[in-house]
């Protein structure tokens, strides 16, 4: 399997190279040269497998010869052995056609663990026996940071610098990052929003001198290996609900488009996905793009769903690349225009290619709260607000197939919002119950390229 950039001019890499690189050198995102496919019989054969066995089967075509099949299975066994539920991503039934896929049973209580536990192991495996020291830089709107830090803390030959918007993540989310005191972990609170943090990360990758000096890599969903790992739970859930004999829809709370793009990959691989519902909050650039072709930045509004308070959805570029006939040069020009003006219209070809699989919904705070109350009162399920956004969209979809809402975080990560909506204040699981007693360590910096790169230059372990 080879990987090429969405913008067409970066070197073509194998899986190992694409994993270590993260962002392509031309500013694009790596995608597989072709989409592997599974036959209905192969999908049916996943029914009796554990999550780790399913993961190895789904990932194998993307990994190619960068790992042996046994090495890949061993990594999957290790990655998913840390989850608190034996099913890793269990399904919960809400009513006759609404389901939850619980993705928060990993060590940091969020769906990012499913991918980042695997990515941390891949980094370590690919660096073994080399003299390369990898510097991971990332931006987080809440959950990516803690999951990435947990995955690489203390690992050999890796430094991690994680940027979060000061005051715009919950206290639990912040503490899950800043109480990890391993010497290779550096938390930076920037005086700006998530889009500012994400722009700084992209700027660091695009500064060739800085990127080469530090051997940069990414843990955000711009890294293909992270998306690859997220494809697995779409197959795992759908097979348990009757696939390939039955079509399944998924409702996904999303800001950066990574989680829902993994569902698109599953569909391209042959999973019978009826619809992917892109559920946004009032920061609705993705809803506007999918419903009217208007991909234009607005002002970021702070909400009870901070992981979705985004106006630039990095992974949307991957979908546009496929929808544009994989014309890297044309997409590079389109994205350059967007980066310059903050506004872009999807082409007719892109809109027509996207329409059959995707639908979208913009969910405000009132509808989110109503969905959370319904889940608590009618199904006995306490949801985090991001999942409430997706459940609201799912219940309004009108689809006549099973609809799986991705439950992306443990409700205890958003106690205030959950209590406002449901009257219940969820407790942290026992395994992280001492979080508020742990020492914190982080640095606050202005949201400028010079300030952040100077800090990284001065604090990387050498």
Q: Which residues are catalytic?
A: 112
**Helix orientation angle between 224-240 and 112-127, rounded to the nearest 10 degrees:** 130
- Count CA within 13 A, CB hemisphere, residue 433: 5
* Integer Cα distance of 198 and 167 in angstroms: 16
To which residue do tokens 């390939």 refer? 244
Residue ranges of E strands in 122-184: 134-139, 158-165
Here the tokens at position 29 are: 């995102």
Q: Is 325 exposed, middle or buried (0-12, 13-18, 19+ CB in 10 A)?
A: exposed
To which residue do tokens 């990095």 refer? 314
Alpha carbon 180 to chain centroid, angstroms? 21
Cβ-contact 1, 15 below 8 angstroms: yes
Tell me how far CA of residue 392 lies from CA of 370, 387, 398, 403, 416, in angstroms. 8, 9, 12, 12, 19
Kindly give the residue spans of alpha helices, DSSP state H, lying in 207-254: 208-214, 224-240
Measured from the Cβ of residue 33, the count of other Cβ atoms closer than 10 Å reads 11
Element (H, E) at 351: helix 348-354
* Integer Cα distance of 33 and 221 in angstroms: 18
Backbone angles phi and psi of 125, in degrees to 5: -65, -45
Cβ-contact 5, 24 below 8 angstroms: yes
* Integer Cα distance of 146 and 294 in angstroms: 33
Q: What is the DSSP string of 360-390?
A: EEE--HHHHHHHHHHHHHHH-----HHHHHH
Nearest Cα neighbor of 230 from 199, 290, 298, 276 is 276
Sign of the alpha-carbon torsion through 260, 313, 138, 426: negative
Q: What is the DSSP string of 12-38?
A: PB-HHHHHHH-B-TTS-BEEESS----
Cβ-contact 417, 371 below 8 angstroms: no
């Amino acid at each position: 399997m080879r990987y090429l950039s969405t913008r067409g001019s970066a070197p073509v890499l194998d899986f190992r190279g694409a994993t270590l690189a993260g962002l392509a050198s031309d500013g694009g995102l790596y995608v597989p040269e072709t989409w592997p496919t599974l036959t209905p019989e192969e999908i049916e054969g996943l029914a009796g497998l554990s999550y780790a066995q399913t993961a190895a089967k789904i990932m194998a075509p993307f990994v190619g010869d960068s790992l042996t099949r046994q090495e890949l299975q061993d990594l999957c066994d290790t990655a998913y052995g840390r989850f608190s539920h034996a099913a890793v991503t269990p399904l919960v039934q809400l009513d006759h056609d609404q389901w939850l896929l619980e993705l928060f049973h990993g060590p940091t209580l969020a769906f990012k663990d499913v991918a980042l536990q695997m990515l941390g192991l891949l980094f370590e495996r690919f660096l073994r026996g080399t003299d390369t020291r990898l510097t991971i830089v990332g931006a987080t709107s809440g959950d990516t940071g803690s999951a990435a830090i947990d995955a690489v803390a203390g690992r050999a030959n890796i430094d991690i610098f994680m940027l979060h918007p000061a005051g715009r993540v919950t206290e639990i989310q912040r503490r899950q990052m800043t109480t990890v005191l391993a010497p290779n972990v550096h938390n930076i609170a920037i005086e700006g929003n998530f889009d500012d943090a994400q722009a700084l990360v992209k700027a660091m990758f695009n500064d060739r001198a800085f990127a080469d000096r530090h051997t940069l890599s990414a843990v955000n969903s711009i890294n293909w290996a992270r998306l690859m790992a997220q494809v697995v739970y779409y197959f795992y859930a759908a097979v348990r609900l009757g696939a390939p004999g039955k079509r399944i829809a998924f409702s996904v709370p999303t800001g950066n488009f990574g989680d829902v793009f993994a569902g698109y990959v599953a569909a391209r691989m042959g999973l019978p996905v009826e619809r992917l519902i892109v559920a946004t909050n009032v920061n609705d650039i993705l809803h506007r793009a999918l419903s009217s072709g208007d991909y234009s930045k607005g002002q970021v509004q702070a909400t009870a769903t901070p992981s979705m308070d985004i106006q630039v959805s990095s992974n949307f570029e991957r979908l546009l690349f496929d929808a544009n006939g994989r014309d890297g040069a044309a997409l590079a020009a389109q994205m350059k225009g967007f980066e310059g003006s903050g506004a872009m219209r999807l082409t007719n070809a892109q809109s027509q290619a996207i329409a059959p699989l995707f639908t979208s919904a913009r969910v405000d705070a009132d509808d989110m709260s109503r969905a959370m109350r319904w889940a608590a009162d009618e199904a006995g399920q306490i949801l985090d607000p991001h999942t409430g956004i997706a459940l609201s969209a799912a219940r309004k979809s009108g689809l006549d197939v099973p609809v799986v809402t991705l439950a992306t975080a443990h409700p205890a990560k958003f106690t205030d919002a959950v209590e406002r909506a449901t009257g219940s204040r969820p407790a942290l699981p026992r395994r992280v119950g001492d979080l508020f007693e742990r020492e914190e360590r982080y640095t606050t910096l202005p949201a400028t390229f010079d300030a952040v790169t100077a800090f990284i230059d001065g604090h990387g372990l050498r």
